[in-house]
Amino acid sequence: MSVLVTSDLDRTLIYSSAALALTMPDARAPRLLTVEVHESRPLSYMTETSARLLSELGDLVVFVPTTTRTRKQYQRINLPGPAPKYAICANGGHLLVDGVTDGDWYAQVTGRLADECAPLDEVRAYLADTTDPSWVRKHRVAEDLFAYLVVERELVPEEWVKELAVWAENRGWTVSLQGRKIYAVPKPLTKSAAMREVARRTGAELTLAAGDSLLDADLLLAVDRAWRPGHGELADAGWVGPAVIGLPERGVAAGERILREFLRASRER
């Protein structure tokens, strides 16, 4: 039986220094493997145990890294195990096949965005007009598909986030707050749609997934079995789905548990 495993990366399988500090006491810190370096600085890590588990998983299933990162940001990551044939970037906007964007898929995605939601320029203008430099550090556009802000989290007005969510909802967009980033993403731009395309191409009979944020929710609901860690946007909201298991583990320990669950479910079949 062909098994397809699609997993979010940041704060699900890999962790930045900031994410490590939130969830891992120094006295009990496991050995870590650097999986991302940028400008000669290590950025992201996983435990050595997670690295071993991911290598085992890659030999057993079709493993598809799935991320809201841009292609350039994703390609900085060097995961252990076999090089994935497929990867999902930009929240489903780009489907990479052997590291190269699938042009047909991208055309389908951009066609849906043009038909089903407000244009990116309208969202960018709203963000520029309603934010304050005292708490916004950067305005960014990802792959000409969606926008995000880098913010001082503790200074962001809670009421502004709520107002943004309502404004975006009425225009076919979703808002997600992850760490120091606030994302505004078109609703038709989904990880689940890209996952279904990979499942179709590979003939997968069992689909598994994991993720921690609101932008992962559609993916977790679309697969046969899914897991979310005990931290993150979904855990904070107490979110679960019919086939979604909320784990108690937080931080890198959750990453290890998720990979063990992937392996157990794959071997059972």
Q: Residue 158: in which H helix or E strand, if any?
A: helix 158-169
Residues 6+ apart with CB under 8 A from 31: 47, 48
Averaged pLDDT, 202-213: 97
pLDDT at 1 over 70: no
Query: Mind listing the pLDDT tens digit for each residue in 14-55?
Result: 999 888 876 665 556 788 999 999 999 999 999 999 999 999
For residue 149, give both structure tokens. 């802000």
Would you call 150 helix, strand, or coil by DSSP?
Answer: strand
Return the pLDDT at 25.
59
Rg of the Cα atoms in the chain: 18
Mean pLDDT computed over 88-95: 98
Residue 253 in contact with residue 50, Cβ under 8 Å?
no
Taking the model in full, what pTM does it have? 0.93
Residue 4: pLDDT above 80? yes
Q: What is the pLDDT of residue 17?
A: 85
118 vs 42: CA distance, rounded Å: 37
Q: Which pLDDT does position 22 carry in this prediction?
A: 62
pLDDT confidence tier of residue 241, bands split at 50, 70 and 90: very high
More confident residue, 220 or 19: 220
The whole-number pLDDT of residue 23 equals 61
Q: What is the mean pLDDT of residues 222-249?
A: 95
The dihedrals phi and psi of 67, each to the nearest 5 degrees, come to -150, 155
* Model confidence pLDDT, tens digit, residues 134-172: 999 999 999 999 999 999 999 999 999 999 999 999 999
Query: According to the model, what pLDDT value does residue 27 have?
Result: 59
Write down the pLDDT at residue 269: 74
pLDDT at 119: 97
d(CA 259, CA 256) in angstroms, rounded, equals: 5
Average pLDDT score over the chain: 95
The average pLDDT across 126-136 equals 97
